[in-house]
Amino acid sequence: MSALDHGRISLGAGCVGIAQGCLDASVSYTKERKQFGRPVASFQLVQELLADIAVETEAARLLVWRAAATADRGERHTVEASYAKYFASEVAVRAANAAVQAHGGYGYVDEYPVGKYLRDARVTTLYEGTSQIQKLLIGRALTGENAFT
Ligand SMILES: Cc1cc2nc3c(=O)[nH]c(=O)nc-3n(C[C@H](O)[C@H](O)[C@H](O)COP(=O)(O)OP(=O)(O)OC[C@H]3O[C@@H](n4cnc5c(N)ncnc54)[C@H](O)[C@@H]3O)c2cc1C
Q: How far is the CA of 87 from the centre of ligand 1 (A)?
A: 17
Q: Which segments within 6-147 are labelled E, that is strand?
A: 34-35, 38-39
Please state, in angstroms and rounded to a whole number, the distance separating the CA atoms of residues 125 and 52: 19
Structural domain count of the chain: 1
Q: How far is the CA of 16 from the centre of ligand 1 (A)?
A: 21
Task: Kindly report the pTM of this predicted structure.
Answer: 0.95
Judge whether 149 lies within some domain: no
Its sign, for the CA torsion 10, 13, 15, 17, is: negative
Pocket probe for ligand 1: among 119, 122, 128, 132, the residue whose CB has the most ligand atoms within 8 Å is 132
Q: For position 105, which CATH number holds? A: 1.20.140.10
Is residue 148 situated within a structural domain?
no
Give me the domain span that covers residue 93: 2-143
Q: How many Cβ atoms from other residues are within 10 Å of residue 93's Cβ?
A: 21
pLDDT attached to residue 149: 77
Any ligand 1 atom below 6 A from CB of 130: yes
Confidence of residue 13 (pLDDT cuts 50, 70, 90): very high
- Residue-wise pLDDT tens digits, 114-149: 999 999 999 999 999 999 999 999 999 999 999 987
Q: Decide if 54 is inside a domain.
A: yes
Residue 64 CB contacts under 8 Å (≥ 6 apart), including other chains: 9, 12, 13, 16, 84, 88
Does any domain span residue 51?
A: yes
